Amino acid sequence: MENELKRNYLLNLLRITPQLVSNNLMHNKAKFNFRSVFFDLKESIDLFLKKDSDNRFYILPGLRGVGKTTIIFQLYDYLINNQNIDLNRILYLDLDRLKDQGLFNLLDYLDIFIKDINEEAYLNNEPLFIFIDESQYSSNWDHVGKIIFDEYKNVFIIFTGSDALNLQSSMDSARRSLKKEIYPLNFAEYLNLKYDCKISNRISDSIFDTIFNNDIESLRKNEKDIQLNVYNKFKRDISKIWEEYIQYGGFPSSFNRNNNSIIQLTLDMKNRIIEKDLDTLSSFTSQTRRNTYSLINILALQRPGELSLHKLAKNMDISKKSIDNLLTALESTQIIFHIEPYGSIAKRNRKPWKYYFLASQMKAAIYQSSAQASRNSGEYMGILSENLVASLLFMMKNKRKQDFGIFYDEEKKTADFLINTIIGEIIPIEVAYGKKNKRQIKNSMNKYNCEYGIVVSNKTQSIVKDDDVIFLPLKTFSML
């Protein structure tokens, strides 16, 4: 009887999913554009269908709202309309909804889908597709994925989830799965998804080469092409569109809303992370949740700087260990990340860390809802710009799987960030909103004997090299 209920649940899902997908893939009768990760996964699916690859177990970790479900729906749509896969052979299972049925065994549902509902495909080794959304609501999702991968060679399976630490560090899935982290949008992705402006990934590659190889020629060429063929198509000032992006454009779920609605949506997202996602890490008490709300607001409203656990613990009247646990939990959801001081491992563990929001949109929403943004708009945009540059560097390191460190210098009047390359070279990066000078970058270059330094500024309209300092426009850098 219990299996019959599960079977009926799955049959109902298979029936309603096509309409669910259709309702969430377009706006004003136009389908959403694709992110690059869609094409990566599509290629893997095509190879799987040709039986040319065994890459059939993927994990998509990422912060809430970054578009993981949309990518899954686009793959579903592709399978039906381009690969002519039967509807009953594609299972989209949202564990956030399934958990409302009570305690569940994920493997039971997948076994029923594979061996019962699709018995013929199972016996004939024909392809099946399983997309598991909100995987963090299953305590053993990784073990289930391992079993499906090992026992069913005809199944292509994807897990998504917002508990990034859990999805990235699982031992059960580590040797079998491939990970595709989904991050907030960079400026190029924003222009593509919202305004249908196609910008080649070459711009990101050329920014990377500029940072690490002191090579500006490729970036100069790509930047000029974008200025002529993308920026000139807008009737509005592109700087205004960039300001729209840094405050409201990090999440695809924010599109087609007014600014007030975006702020509320972002705050609701933050609340959902605290109320739901953190509970998948440990059982949070009401007091702990209140402390988490306070901590996030403190992080959002302070100027970027070292975070003293001692001062925080004193101000919030809780232990340093509790603060540390909350910060670790928040980092696992990817709402925040940290940058350590440059120096030895002992120093980095001893000295305070700096914390930034993965999406500047989250910081902006909290700032605006607290009526802080209007006090000094220049300072507000400068704080958001530093957060954005930190986030882009952090995402670049993780997406490209590059072996370099991102640090800050404890000394005052030095660059905001220090890139430490694998061969031990230091590349200082300064974020200068509202100004364009070389004082702080020069201080860092002299201190670490750097060959060159980089200033990211809104006062620079195109990439310029002044002796050993590269000036990069914020708009350009935002495409990293």
305: pLDDT strictly greater than 80: no
298 is in which domain, residue-wise? 187-477
pLDDT of residue 162: 78
Strands (E), 401-480: 405-408, 417-420, 426-432, 453-457, 464-466, 469-473
CATH of the domain at 119: 3.40.50.300
Q: Among 317-331, 338-352, 396-410, 426-440, which stretch is predicted with the lowest mean pLDDT? A: 338-352
- The tokens for 410 are 């404890």
Query: Which H helix or E strand runs over 120?
Result: helix 119-123
Q: Mean of the pLDDT values across residues 127-152?
A: 94
Of 126, 151, 179, the domain-final residue: 179
pLDDT band at 173; cut points 50, 70, 90: low
Question: Is the pLDDT reported for residue 163 higher than 70?
Answer: no
Q: What is the pLDDT confidence band of residue 400, given thresholds at 50, 70 and 90?
A: confident
- Same domain, residue pair 391 and 251: yes
Q: Look at residue 280 and tell me whether its pLDDT is greater than 80.
A: no
Closest CA to 30 of 185, 196, 244: 196
- Identify which of 283, 390, 268, 386 has the alpha carbon closest to the alpha carbon of residue 329: 283
Give the pTM: 0.92
Q: How confident is the model at residue 401 (pLDDT cuts 50, 70, 90)?
A: confident
Distance (Å, whole) CA 29 – CA 95? 29
Top-confidence residue, 267 or 168: 267
Q: How much of the chain exceeds pLDDT 90, in percent?
A: 72
Q: Residue 435: its pLDDT value, please? A: 76
Pick the closest to residue 168 from 333, 360, 324 (CA basis): 333
Q: What is the pLDDT of residue 347?
A: 74
Query: Quick one: pLDDT band at residue 306, thresholds 50, 70, 90?
Result: low
Whether residue 206 is found in the same domain as residue 307:
yes
Mean predicted confidence (pLDDT) in 263-274: 94
User: Looking at the structure, do residues 234 and 162 belong to the same domain, yes or no?
Assistant: no
Whether the pLDDT of residue 129 is over 70: the answer is: yes
Strand runs (DSSP E) across 200-265, as ranges?
none
Structure tokens at 375: 């006090």
pLDDT interval class at 168 (50, 70, 90): low
Question: What pLDDT sits at residue 424?
Answer: 92
Mean of pLDDT values over 111-130? 97
Of the candidate ranges 174-188, 307-321, 404-418, the one whose mean pLDDT is the lowest: 307-321
Claim to verify: residue 193 and residue 175 sit in the same structural domain: no
Report residue 201's pLDDT band, with 50, 70 and 90 as the boundaries: confident
The per-residue pLDDT for range 19-47, each reduced to its tens digit, is 999 999 988 888 999 999 999 999 999 99
pLDDT in the model for residue 1: 60
- Given a cut of 70, whether residue 164 has pLDDT beyond it is no
Mean pLDDT of 156-175: 69
Q: What is the enclosing helix (H) or strand (E) of 78? A: helix 68-81
Claim to verify: residue 163 and residue 282 sit in the same structural domain = no
pLDDT > 70 fraction of the chain, expressed in percent and rounded: 95
The bridge status of strand 469-473 relative to strand 464-466 is antiparallel
Same domain assignment for residues 227 and 144: no
Of 179, 213, 248, which residue constitutes the final position of a domain?
A: 179
Both structure tokens of 304? 């970027």
pLDDT, residue 172, reads 59
pLDDT of residue 175: 64
Residue 411 has pLDDT above 50, yes or no: yes
295 has a pLDDT exceeding 90: yes
pLDDT for the residue 26: 86
What's 254's DSSP letter?
G
Residue where a domain stops, chosen among 152, 179, 206: 179
Residues 111 and 210 in one domain: no
Statement to judge: residues 204 and 107 lie in one domain: no
Cα–Cα distance for residue pair 437/459, rounded to 1 Å? 10
For residue 373, the model assigns a pLDDT of: 66
Query: 344 with 442, same domain?
Result: yes
Q: Which pLDDT score, from 0 to 100, does residue 316 have?
A: 87
> Over the stretch 59-94, which tens digit does the pLDDT of each residue have?
999 998 999 999 999 999 999 999 999 999 999 999
AA letter at 234? F
* pLDDT value for 428: 98
Predicted local distance difference test score (pLDDT) of residue 165:
47
Same domain, 34 and 127: yes
Cα–Cα distance, 414 to 4 (Å, whole number): 66
The DSSP secondary-structure symbol of 116 reads I
Tell me how far apart the alpha carbons of residues 216 and 78 are, in angstroms, rounded to a whole number.
Answer: 39
Q: Which run of H or of E encompasses 156? A: strand 155-161
Task: Say how many domains are in the chain.
Answer: 2
Please say whether the beta carbons of 450 and 427 come within 8 A.
yes
Same domain? For 93 and 167 the reply is yes
- Tell me: do 263 and 290 sit in the same domain: yes
When mean pLDDT is compared across 92-96, 170-174, 302-306, the lowest value belongs to 170-174
Per-residue pLDDT band for 204 (boundaries 50, 70, 90) equals very high
